[in-house]
Amino acid sequence: MAIKYIPEPFRIKSVEPLKILSKEERIQKIKEAKYNLFLLKGEDCYIDLLTDSGTNAMSQDQWAGVMRGDEAYAGASSYYKLIEAGKDIFNYDYIQPVHQGRAGEKVLFPLLLGAGKLAISNMFFDTTRAHVELTGARCIDCVVEAAKDPARRIPFKGNMDVERLERLIGEHGAENIGMIVMTITNNSAGGQPVSMKNMRDVAAIAKKHHILLNIDAARYAENAYFVQRDEAEYKNKSIKDIIREMFSYADTFTMSAKKDAIVNMGGLIGVKDASSPLIIKTKANCICYEGFFTYGGLSGRDLEAMAIGLYEGIDNDYLRYRIGQIEYLAARLDDAGIGYQSPAGGHGIFVDAAAMFPQIPYTEYPGQVLAVELYKEAGIRSCDIGSYMLGNDPDTGKQLHADFEFTRLAIPRRVYTQAHTDVMADALVEIKKRASQIRRGYRITWEPPILRHFQAHLEPIC
């Protein structure tokens, strides 16, 4: 194996014991959870890779910040500290805290969208898609074709297909497009980054057609690291300078701080221009849905931890270790001939479940099959990012066919060690050995109308 694990730029001060259930117990637990990984108890998972969102380990500075948190209802010092950090890093005039990313979407999107409108993105994450649809608008994903071939190793597979974007605007009319969303990194495409060039090109198109450009900024720091590493003209630029340039091309951002701000709860909305009428409307919606605009649904201690985490998340040594961990896991899969969305992206490995189980059709959810197998094999909790997650067409009710059938192993920040990472790789290697014997997938026995994968019940097809 050519890749060396990059040692952690921290040491462990507080530990959280893990329980390891026997294989028989795990088989029983997943059956009781109706084969839905979201319905398992956290304590029954040995390695929990369901998400990298809010599952991060905070630093000693952040925990000290928790004690300093100012719980004033209005104008807390923790709020001002957060706003200063936000303005400094993103260079936006208005920063609004919210309790998490989807709260930002709930506050901002109805101001931009509604029935008859469209939103176009390099790819919508599921809750983002849901918040677009809740306004009555519809979503179009417009990622580059290369993203649809997991084996194709080229940088920046998260990019927007700019030619198709132009075509779509021509077909639908710029006046019907409420916003363009650049998701950085592109989570649903495998944590794949977006290049600065692509951002610049998309911004030029948005400007030409007077369409608002919003960044879905959940993993903006990881994206900046890829720009620094892989886009020649940014080699000597700091992560912060790269972020400032990237955000300068957009008008607004919504951000789940539960990822790159390395906190357990939090989110932000940003509005670049102080004169934007969106600011006053954002404050009003925030007061209705989240609470007064100086706390935005968060405790003062959360605001304080986020203000500190924003800086820790853009540290170059941390990002090198962070992406290095994902690359180490990817290299182990390469050795075993296991396909994944390659090259490795930012926040996890998206195993190509369609390649592992070619015998299982998308209607039987190969990504879910592998997720269940990983739990049975090693107590690892992962999730499907494929047709099972995508769900049904909101107009026809028909099962949509996703571009990918991935099983996502999302890696929490600063939580798992190299030995844990080896457990992940070993489990996948074992499953691959018996993959051809798994002949059938799952059927859904009950599902809610939207975001079904969180709640649905499944059963194996015999």
Please report how close the Cβ of residue 271 comes to ligand F0G at its closest, in angstroms.
18
- Catalytic position from the list 137, 371, 453, 456: 453
Give residues 93-152 in contact with ligand F0G (rule: CB under 6 A).
100-102, 125, 127-128
* Nearest-approach distance from CB 52 to ligand F0G, in angstroms: 7
For the CB of residue 194, give the shortest distance to ligand F0G in the complex, in Å: 12
Is there a catalytic annotation at residue 218?
Answer: yes
Site for ligand F0G in 75-104 (CB under 6 A): 100-102
Helix axes 126-134, 101-108, angle to 10 degrees: 20
Q: Between residues 301 and 381, which has the closer beta carbon with respect to ligand F0G?
A: 381
**Short-list 385, 400, 389, 397, CA closest to 449:** 397
Query: According to CB under 6 A, which residues from 400 to 459 bind ligand F0G?
Result: 410
Taking the least distance from each CB to ligand F0G, the nearer of 54 and 394 is 54
Residue (27 or 39) nearer to ligand F0G, CB: 39
Q: Which of 44, 48, 161, 216 is catalytic?
A: 216
Q: Is 222 in the site for ligand F0G (CB under 6 A)?
A: no
Task: Given the residues 218, 250, 344, 456, select the one marked as catalytic.
Answer: 218
Rounded to a whole number of angstroms, the minimum distance from the CB of residue 462 to ligand F0G is 31
To the query of whether residue 73 is one of the catalytic residues in this protein, the response is: yes
Residue closest to ligand F0G, measured at CB: 101
Nearest distance from residue 73's CB to ligand F0G, in Å?
23
| Structure tokens belonging to residue 370 | 């592998």
**Catalytic, out of 240, 259, 283, 432:** 259
Q: Which of 256, 299, 342, 407 binds ligand F0G (CB under 6 A)?
A: 256
- Output the smallest distance, CB 1 to ligand F0G, in A: 28
Measured from the CB of residue 56, what is the shortest distance to ligand F0G in angstroms?
12
Candidate list 126, 201, 302, 352, residue with the active-site label: 126
- For the beta carbon of residue 3, count every other beta carbon within 10 angstroms: 15
In this complex, which beta carbon is closest to ligand F0G, that of residue 259 or of residue 432?
259
The only residue of 53, 121, 195, 294 in contact with ligand F0G, by rule CB under 6 A? 53
Residues 312-371 that bind ligand F0G (CB under 6 A): none
Q: State which of residues 135, 187, 252, 382 lies at the interface with ligand F0G (CB under 6 A).
A: 187
Q: Which is nearer to ligand F0G, 185 or 421 (CB)?
A: 185
Q: Which is nearer to ligand F0G, 125 or 365 (CB)?
A: 125
Residue with tokens 């104008």: 75
**Residue 125 annotated among the catalytic residues of the structure:** yes
- Select 216 or 364, whichever has its Cβ closest to ligand F0G: 216
Residue from 121, 159, 183, 342 in contact with ligand F0G (CB under 6 A) = 183
Cβ nearer to ligand F0G, comparing 177 with 184: 184
Is residue 221 within 8 Å of residue 239, measured between CB atoms?
yes
Whether the Cβ atoms of residue 366 and residue 353 lie closer than 8 Å to each other: yes
Backbone angles phi, psi at 384, to 5 degrees: -75, 135
> Residue 267, interface with ligand F0G (CB under 6 A)?
yes
272 binding ligand F0G? (CB under 6 A): no
Told to judge if 365 belongs to the known catalytic residues of this protein, a careful annotator would answer no
Does residue 126 have an active-site annotation? yes
Please identify which of the residues 73, 88, 208, 335 carries the catalytic annotation: 73
SS3 assignment for the chain: CCCCCCCCCCCCCCCCCCCCCCHHHHHHHHHHCCCCHHHCCHHHCCEECCCCCCCCCCCHHHHHHHHHCCCCCCCCHHHHHHHHHHHHHHCCCEEEEECCHHHHHHHHHHHCCCCCCEEEECCCCHHHHHHHHHCCCEEEECECHHHHCCCCCCCCCCCECHHHHHHHHHHHCHHHEEEEEEECCECCCCCECCCHHHHHHHHHHHHHCCCCEEEECCCHHHHHHHHHHHCHHHCCCCHHHHHHHHHHCCCEEEEECCCCCCCCCCEEEEECCCCCCHHHHHHHHHHHHCCCCCCCCCCHHHHHHHHHHHHHCCCHHHHHHHHHHHHHHHHHHHHHCCCECCCCCCCEEEEEHHHHCCCCCHHHCHHHHHHHHHHHHHCEECEEECHHHHCECCCCCCECCCCCCEEEEECCCCCCCHHHHHHHHHHHHHHHHHHHHCCCCEEEEECCCCCHHHCCEEEECC
Q: Which stretches of the chain bind ligand F0G, using CB under 6 A?
A: 51, 53, 100-102, 125, 127-128, 183, 187, 216, 218, 256, 258, 267, 410
Residues known to be catalytic: 73, 125-126, 216, 218, 259, 453
